[in-house]
Amino acid sequence: MARKDLLDLASLDRSEIDHLLEQAVPFKEVFTRSVKKVPALKGKSVLMLFYEPSTRTHSSFEVAAKRLSADVTNFDVAHSSVVKGESVRETVETLQAMRTDYIVVRHGRSGLPAMIASQTKASVVNAGDGAHAHPTQGLLDAFTLKEVFPEPEGRRVLIVGDILHSRVARSTSKVLKKLGVEVAYLGPGSLLPRTCPLGIPRFTDYEEAMRWKPDVVYLLRVQMERQEAQFFPSLREYHRVYGMTHERLKRIEDAGIWLMHPGPVNRGVELCDQAMDYSRSLINTQVENGIAVRMAVLYWLKPREG
Ligand code: CP
């Protein structure tokens, strides 16, 4: 059953998640062809509405839409009437008059994609809203994990870092838990929720977390832009206590543990330089899979007619 919008993963049931992850498989196969395009959304239009910076999400949605043969318009916020004070509502009403079919939106305010969805017939995809949700990141993470572990139930993913400000942690945890994956959080107490949802264990000590025996260590980006207060003494100290140092990298290599990160990476903070060449790093695979998963999402959603 198709939906109009994808705003978060909380409302998706297991069969919908399975459907999207299965649909992404043939779309990934399209990348290996000499003509990397299918006519699935020919004649449809996709509007990219990014009020916050993005490299991976923006470019992979654009590539995904183009590989589905949709027409893509990039709304350039910095050179638009937004700088003259035009509100999001007025901007969306103006763009809606152009009869766009899909709006991919990123905004610093939680809940803004839902507000846009309620006022437009276009399908709205949340490409990240404040600290609330980043549903396509969660789906691409699940897809990447399933490529390594086709039966992921019971596998263990340790998410490390700034859980408090992370929409990635929220969305990725939700989808992994729905797939039966065990999730735990590790980070400074100041960057962990006091009570973790979904019965997720919470560690502040790296060694204790490693005794939990994860199959994957998923490092989050330290989000300087969302931190109003100083949550740890220094970036060097953060790297020493919670980062993937050279010494820890050797240990996870010996233990056969996989490494994930949503990007962009703060080198020397979450990851040491050597981690970029780690043989079990899935970071580039996550980026590649983002296109296939976003193709599946756009193909699945159904804008309201009329
Ligand atoms: N992972 C992610 O959302 O990256 P971007 O900010 O580059 O889109």
Residue 148 parent element (H or E) = helix 135-148
**pLDDT score at 110:** 96
Is 141 a domain residue? yes
The reply to whether 71 and 109 lie within a common domain is yes
Mean pLDDT, the chain, rounded, equals 94
- The more confident residue out of 3 and 199 is 3
On the question of a cis peptide bond just before residue 264, with omega within 30 degrees of 0, the verdict is yes
139 and 279 in one domain?
A: yes
Residue 227: pLDDT band by 50, 70, 90 thresholds? Answer: low
Domain presence at residue 8: no
Ligand 1 pocket, 290 CB below 6 A? no
Same domain, 34 and 177: no
Ligand 1 centroid vs 57 CA: distance in angstroms? 5
Q: Are residues 237 and 119 in the same domain?
A: no
What pLDDT was estimated at residue 81? Answer: 86
Q: Is the pLDDT of residue 195 over 90?
A: no
Residue 35 pLDDT > 60: yes
Does 129 lie in the same domain as 139?
Answer: no
State what percent of residues in the chain have pLDDT above 90. Answer: 83
Average pLDDT score over residue span 168-177: 97
Q: Does some domain include residue 270? A: yes
* CATH number for position 221: 3.40.50.1370
The amino acid at 302? K
Distance of CA 125 from the midpoint of ligand 1 (Å): 15
How close is the Cα of 153 to the center of ligand 1, in Å? 27
Which of left, alpha, beta for 99 (phi over 0: left; psi -120 to 50: alpha)? left
Q: Encoding tokens for residue 31?
A: 């990348």
Using CA atoms, how far apart are residues 206 and 242, in angstroms rounded to an integer?
Answer: 7
**Whether residue 205 sits in one domain with residue 295:** no
Could you tell me if 289 and 143 are in contact, meaning their C-beta atoms sit under 8 angstroms apart?
A: yes
Domain that includes residue 227, residue range = 135-286
User: Is 305 a domain residue?
Assistant: no
Confidence of residue 155 (pLDDT cuts 50, 70, 90): very high
Pair (159, 228) in one structural domain:
yes
**Per-residue pLDDT at 179:** 97
CA distance 105 to 54: 11
The verdict on the CB of residue 60 being under 6 Å from ligand 1 is no
- Considering the domain architecture, whether residues 140 and 242 belong to the same structural domain is answered as yes
User: Looking at the domain assignment, is residue 110 inside a domain?
Assistant: yes
* Reported confidence tier of residue 226, pLDDT bands at 50, 70, 90: low
d(CA 75, CA 186): 38
Give the separation between CA 117 and CA 120, rounded to whole angstroms.
Answer: 5
Rounded-to-integer distance, Cα 162 and Cα 177, Å = 19
270 with 242, same domain: the answer is yes
Instruction: Name the pLDDT band for 229 (thresholds 50, 70, 90).
Output: low
**From the CA of 305, how far away is ligand 1's center (Å)?**
31
Check pocket membership of 126 for ligand 1, CB cut-off 6 A: no
Within-domain flag for 306: no
Average pLDDT of the segment spanning 124-149 = 98
Query: What does the chain come to in residues?
Result: 306
pLDDT at 77 over 90: no
**79 pLDDT higher than 90:** no
Quick one: pLDDT at residue 231? 81
Q: What are phi and psi of 25, to 5 degrees?
A: -65, -55
180 and 280 together in one domain: yes
**Any ligand 1 atom below 6 A from CB of 223:** no
* Whether the model pTM is above 0.85: yes
More confident residue, 291 or 235: 291
Q: What is the pLDDT of residues 5-19, one digit of tens each?
A: 999 999 999 999 999
48, 49, 56, best to mutate for ligand 1 pocket (most atoms within 8 Å of CB) = 56
- What does the pLDDT read at residue 228? 56
Is the minimum distance from the CB of 262 to ligand 1 under 6 angstroms? yes
Beta bridge partners of 45: 71
Mean pLDDT of 192-218: 94
Q: Does residue 206 sit in the same domain as residue 63?
A: no
pLDDT band of residue 232 (cuts 50, 70, 90) is confident
Instruction: Compute the half-sphere exposure of residue 270: CA atoms within 13 Å on the CB side of its CA.
Output: 24
pLDDT surpassing 80 at residue 225: no
| Rg of the Cα atoms in the chain | 19
Give the pLDDT confidence of 88-99 residue by residue, as tens digits. Answer: 888 888 888 889
Nearest CA-CA partner of 125 in 106, 144, 99, 100: 106
Mean pLDDT of 12-36: 96
44 within domain boundaries: yes
Ligand 1 centre to CA of 262 (Å) is 7
User: Structural domain tally of the chain?
Assistant: 2
| 85, part of any domain | yes
CB of 264 within 6 A of ligand 1: the answer is: yes
Could you tell me if 115 and 180 lie in one domain?
no
